[in-house]
Amino acid sequence: MELYFAPLSCSMATKIALNEIGESAATEAVSLKDKKTASGKDYWTINPKGQVPALRTREGAILTEGPAVLQYVADLKPDAGLAPPAGSLERYRLQQWLNYISTELHKAVFALVFNPKAPDAVKAFAIEQIPAKFAFLSGELKDRAFLLDRFTVADAYLVTVLNWCGLAGIDLKSYPVLAAYHQRLSARPSVAKAMAEDMKLAGLA
């Protein structure tokens, strides 16, 4: 398997999932600015959407879209419990979370804040959505360690997205439940390893 990633981006969630199942996939960094991989490949030819993550599966297929990639990785080792069994209500709950994180947090807020082409008013509008969304998340996580009953790929995705708060100028300390969740998950070996690796590659450690 081979993971195409960009340091500290949403692809970090896939690195966390791979660490959780103990799978050492080859990784290749992608420059999202010029769409070139570290070995000089034209990334458009690998993922025509030009986005990370993209995973070359064991069978050689290219799989894209974080929530699909995460579930693929989880299903490689069902015993690790990163995703409930396909077809169960809990699996749909997992998909509910993956979709929420992807559409309501990642794309609707952070992708706009970090987009250099987004006008300031658009960025401000994105940031204005945070209090309501983080209040909802805080309520959900108030009495639980994880989004579902145990650590799943949804947590891998959420901790990755919460990592971006500092860069986006959002003070996570204003949301104590989320700050505690983020701190707790950051200490998890699979997360700490992915984070340390990406921080180093991003020149931040």
Ligand X SMILES: N[C@@H](CCC(=O)N[C@@H](CS)C(=O)NCC(=O)O)C(=O)O
Binding positions for ligand X, rule: CB under 6 A: 6, 9-10, 32, 50-52, 65-66, 102, 111
114 versus 146: smaller Cβ distance to ligand X = 114
Distance CA 3, CA 14 (A): 8
CB of residue 144 to ligand X, shortest distance in Å: 25
Distance CA 78, CA 100 (A): 23
CB of residue 41 to ligand X, shortest distance in Å: 15
39 versus 143: smaller Cβ distance to ligand X = 39
160 versus 190: smaller Cβ distance to ligand X = 160
CB of residue 79 to ligand X, shortest distance in Å: 26
Q: What CA dihedral angle connects 50, 53, 57 and 62, to 10 degrees?
A: -20
Amino acid code (one letter) for 175: Y
117 versus 173: smaller Cβ distance to ligand X = 117
65 versus 90: smaller Cβ distance to ligand X = 65
CB of residue 7 to ligand X, shortest distance in Å: 10
Alpha helices in the chain (DSSP H): 12-21, 66-76, 89-100, 111-114, 120-128, 130-141, 153-162, 165-168, 176-186, 189-201
82 versus 161: smaller Cβ distance to ligand X = 161
CB–CB of 135/142 below 8 Å? Answer: no
CB of residue 202 to ligand X, shortest distance in Å: 13
CB of residue 102 to ligand X, shortest distance in Å: 5
Chain mean position to CA 155: 9
Q: Which residue is nearest to ligand X (CB)?
A: 51
Distance CA 90, CA 113 (A): 32
- Alpha-carbon distances of 69 from 6, 54, 76, 90, 99, rounded to whole Å: 15, 8, 11, 18, 13
Instruction: State the distance between the two ends of the chain, measured CA to CA, in whole angstroms.
Output: 27
